[in-house]
Amino acid sequence: MRPLFLALVVIAAVAFCTMTVFANRFYQSTQLRLGQMWFGRGEAALAAGQPKAAIQDFRNALYYSHDDRRYRLRLAEALLAANHIPEAQSYLLTLWQDEPSNSTINLQLARLSGKQGETQAALRYYHGAIYGLWPEGAAAVRRRQTRLELTHYLLGLHDATQADGELIALIPELPRSAPAHTEVGELFLQADDQYRALQEFEEALRLNPKDPAALQGAGEAAFQLSRYSDATKYLERALRNGQHDPGAEELLATSRLVLEWNPYAAGISSKQRAARIVQAFRQARQRLQQCATVKDITLAPASASAAPPGGTTASNPAATPAPRNSRSGLVAKIFGKIDAGRSAAPAAHPAPIQLDAGKMQQLQQQVTQMSRGVRTYKLERDPHLADLAMGLVSQIESVTAQQCGTPKGADLALLLLAHQPEEQ
C-alpha cells in the first residue's frame, strides 16, 4: 500500500505543477495580449490626434506589461503631445537613465528641452540622438531627419553659424536625390552660406536639370554672391520650367539691370563703358533730388567746404568713396541679413535729420562740380575721372538708400554694383 500511496502523491504533485505552469503561462499570455490590445488602441488614438485618449490607453497597456519600455516611451510621447510636460519629462529622464544611448529617447528630450527654452540641453540631446542607437533598418534616415530638425531649431534661434556646421556634416549623408539637395541648399541660404547653397542646388540640377525649385534656388544663391550673369541664367531656366514665382521674376529683372548698367562688365568697349557711366551719373543725380524732396531737404548750392572737382577731402567723410567690397547696413537688409529698419551701425550724430541733410547737400555739391566733366568723350579719355564719377554714384545710391529706403529698378542695380565684391 505504501508504494502505491507514494506513487499517487507523486502523480498528483506532477499534475499540480503542470497545471500551475500552464495557468501561469495562460495568465502571462493573457496579460501580454491585453497589453498589446491597449497599446494598439493607444497608437491609433495618437495617430488620430487624440493624445488624451492615447494616454489612458498606454497607461492600461503598462498595467498589464509594466516593464515594457516601448509602452513607457509611447506614454511619454502621448503626454508630450497633450502638453503634460512635467510627467512626460519624468518618464523620459527615467528611460534615459536606463538607456542613455537610445536615440528615440534623446530626440524626445531634445524637443522637450527646446520647448522649455533650455538650449544647451536641447543641443546635447539632439547630438545624443544623432550619434546614438536607432532601430535597425532606419538608422541612416532617422539620423538625417534628426540633423535636419536640429538645423531648423538652430535657425529658429538665429544661430546661423552652428546651423551651417550641422548642414556641412549632413552633406555626406544625403541620398542621390534632387529634392534632398534642394532642401539642404535652401537651408544653407537661410544660414547665410550662399556658396555652399549654390553647390547643393547645382548638385540637385546634375540629378534633375529641369528641377524648377533647384533652378530658382541656384539663381537666388548666385544673386547673393553677386554673380548676376549666373543668376540670370538660372532664373531664366526656372521660369521656363514653370517656376512662376514673383520673387524669382523680380530677382531676374534686377540681375538683368545690373548686367545692363555695369560699366565694368567684361567685353564692352571704352566708349560703351563711358556711356554707361554717364547714364549712371544722371540716374543717381535724379535719385538724389527725389530723395531730398521726400525728406524735405533743400540741396544747397556749392560752398567753400565742398570737395574740389576730381578729388575728396579727408575732413568730409561723406565724400570719401566707399570701398567696393564693403557691405552697408542697407545692402545687408537687401539680402535679409538684418531686420528691416534696423541699422547695421550706430548713429554717429545726435541729430540724425541734420546729419542726413548735410550728407545729401555735400553730395549735391559734388554732383554740381563734376557734372561738366561727365561726358562720354571725356570719360573715355580719362579712366581716373570715370572711376571718380562711379564712386560718387555709389555714394549717392548708398546714402539715399539709407535715408529714403531700398530703391527699385536702375537705382537698385546701381546700389548692388556699389557693393559688389571687388573680385567680381
Report which of 283, 265, 281, 257 is spatially closest to residue 386, judged by C-alpha positions.
281
| 98 is a domain residue | no
Q: How far apart are CA 181 and CA 205, in angstroms?
A: 9
**Backbone phi and psi for residue 150, each to the nearest 5 degrees, phi listed first:** -65, -40
Q: Helix (H, G, I), strand (E, B), or coil: what is residue 133?
A: strand
Mean pLDDT of the chain: 80
| 335 is a domain residue | yes
Angle, vertex CA 403, rays to CA 402 and CA 406, nearest 5: 55
Q: Helix (H, G, I), strand (E, B), or coil: what is residue 102?
A: strand
| 344 is a domain residue | yes
Report which of 241, 218, 248 is spatially closest to residue 230, judged by C-alpha positions.
218
pLDDT value at residue 66: 64
Number of domains within the chain: 1
| 41 is a domain residue | no
Q: How far apart are CA 21 and CA 42, in angstroms?
A: 31
| 326 is a domain residue | yes
Digit-coded pLDDT (tens) for 385-414: 999 999 999 999 999 988 888 888 999 999
| 342 is a domain residue | yes
Count the neighbouring beta carbons within 10 Å of the beta carbon of residue 217: 29
Positive or negative, the CA dihedral 184, 175, 130, 134 is positive
DSSP 137-203: T-HHHHHHHHHHHHHHHHHHTT-HHHHHHHHHHHGGG--S-HHHHHHHHHHHHHTT-HHHHHHHHHH
pLDDT by residue for the chain (424 residues), tens only, comes to 667 666 666 676 666 666 666 555 654 556 556 666 766 777 787 778 777 778 877 777 766 666 667 777 777 888 877 777 888 888 889 889 989 999 999 999 999 999 889 999 999 999 999 999 988 778 899 999 999 999 999 999 999 999 999 999 999 999 999 999 999 999 999 999 999 999 999 999 999 999 999 999 999 999 999 999 999 999 999 999 988 888 889 999 999 999 999 999 989 999 999 999 999 999 999 999 999 888 888 886 544 333 333 333 333 333 333 333 333 333 444 544 333 333 333 333 334 444 468 888 889 999 999 988 899 988 989 999 999 999 999 999 999 988 888 888 999 999 999 887 654 4
Residue 56 burial (10 A CB sphere; 0-12, 13-18, 19+) = middle
pLDDT value at residue 128: 95
Q: How far apart are CA 235 and CA 245, in angstroms?
A: 10
**Backbone phi and psi for residue 119, each to the nearest 5 degrees, phi listed first:** -60, -50
Expressed as residue numbers, the domain containing 400 is: 270-418
Angle, vertex CA 249, rays to CA 248 and CA 251, nearest 5: 65
| 331 is a domain residue | yes
Positive or negative, the CA dihedral 268, 274, 278, 284 is positive
Q: Which residue has the cell 536615440?
A: 103
**Backbone phi and psi for residue 179, each to the nearest 5 degrees, phi listed first:** -60, -35
HSE, side-chain direction, 13 A CA sphere, residue 211: 22
**Backbone phi and psi for residue 102, each to the nearest 5 degrees, phi listed first:** -75, 115
Residue 233 burial (10 A CB sphere; 0-12, 13-18, 19+) = middle
| 230 is a domain residue | no
Q: How far apart are CA 316 and CA 376, in angstroms?
A: 28
For residues 151, 156, 161, 163, the Cα torsion angle rounded to the nearest 10 degrees is 0
Report which of 191, 194, 235 is spatially closest to residue 215, judged by C-alpha positions.
235
Give, in order, the Cα–Cα distances in Å from 135 to each of 58, 102, 105, 123, 157: 21, 9, 12, 21, 30
**Backbone phi and psi for residue 32, each to the nearest 5 degrees, phi listed first:** -65, -45
